[in-house]
Structure 1
Amino acid sequence: MNPVRRRRLLLVALLVLASGAVTALVAMALQRNVAYLYTPAEVLRGEAGERARFRLGGMVEKGSFRREAGSLESHFRVTDGDAQLPVVYTGILPDLFREGQAVVATGRMQDGVFVADTVLAKHDETYMPREVADKMGIAHRKHDVQVPAEDTP
């Protein structure tokens, strides 16, 4: 093989290897940042995986919120009507965070407790993330919970 063809072949091979490495790195980064939404019942059934990072959606159970004195560590339970899951979050909670309101927390399970990195609360009386609303609707139908009719203007 002449030197020019050998050099071109080597250049093409290096280009293919480099593009493969870049593709693999991008795929790993995207997969690491993907967080699926699960309800407490799904998490307790093991659908979320043991070490996976995911979003937990549901309602903050009434009477479950407590804050450690002198710290930013908050403890509360998230429920979907079927199950409750304890959550620990260290940080400043959103202003609209309250018991009985919809919440989406991102984090991972650790020793049977969901350790949240971020907590998002609904922003007004009518908004709930679509994924949470769909899953809560299924739970309401399953438990025959009466949902108030929406006001139409």
Structure 2
Amino acid sequence: MRPLTRITPALPVQAFQTYQVVAPPATHWRPATCAEADCPAYLHGWRSVIDERTDLGQKQAHYIRRESGRRFAEDRDPAGLTVFAFEAGQRCFAPHQVRTARPEVYLVRGGDWRGNPTGQVRRHANAEDWVEDFQEHQGRLAEQIEKG
């Protein structure tokens, strides 16, 4: 992941509020099957290209052939790599997650990306209250800018 470039704010962190809508992984996501996640590999099949000249490649190929329980065709490409072509409709090797039915969490925190020195965290009951809070905050900022 490329590093994030941020403009250094002109005001101290205490002068900011952060409005967030979050769906924490621990409470708002659950493990899912390939079919539930509309996994492209499950829907269309996939290919795994393995270099069996390496220790890792040998272990991967052994797992696929002997332990994976998946249906595949095996071939060699011109570079000597092993190509496993897996049929559609079977579980891939990646873990999947899907959202639960729990609604998002609507938060207002003191501070910004630099931290929350006040420790302030407000949780709104619903999106409407959060939006209203945000609009009121934007209104106060606009008034302050107008005043100079």
TM-score (norm 2): 0.20
Q: Which has the larger radius of gyration?
A: 2
Higher relative contact order by CA 8 Å / sep ≥ 6: 1 or 2?
Answer: 2
TM-score (norm 1): 0.20
